[in-house]
């Protein structure tokens, strides 16, 4: 099952989203080098949580407009949408 990653433009946005996603239990990790536009901090979570995680991240006003959702694939990451 694929995993997903939220990458952020600011550390403040990443921390706010991490608090909002507490029930999803994201893994805080460095943003992969292939994702260049980022503050360097990302949240990774499982596929079954993607819709819930997206809704929760959208509810964190500090992260609106500052996050991008990526699908983790064998060959890298695919941008799915921006918050």
CA distance 53 to 6: 9
Is 80 exceeded by the pLDDT of residue 21? yes
Specify the pLDDT at position 62.
Answer: 87
What fold, for 3-73? Alpha-Beta Plaits (3.30.70)
Average pLDDT (39-51) is 93
Q: Give the per-residue pLDDT at 26.
A: 95
pLDDT of 60: 87
Q: Which of 41, 23, 38, 28 is nearest to 79 (CA)?
A: 38
Q: Give the chain's mean pLDDT.
A: 91
Which pLDDT tens digit goes with each residue over 46-76?
999 999 999 998 888 888 889 999 999 988 9
- SS3 of 2, please? coil
Query: 10 Å Cβ neighbour count for 9?
Result: 17
What is the number of H-type helices and E-type strands within the chain? Answer: 2, 5
């Amino acid at each position: 099952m694929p995993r997903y990653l939220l990458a952020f433009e600011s550390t403040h946005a990443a921390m706010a989203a991490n608090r909002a996603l507490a029930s999803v239990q994201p893994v805080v990790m460095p943003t992969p080098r292939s994702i260049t536009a980022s503050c360097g901090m990302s949240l990774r979570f499982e596929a079954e949580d993607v819709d819930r995680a997206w809704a929760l991240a959208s509810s964190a006003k500090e992260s609106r407009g500052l996050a991008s959702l990526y699908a983790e694939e064998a060959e890298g990451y695919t941008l799915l949408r921006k918050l």
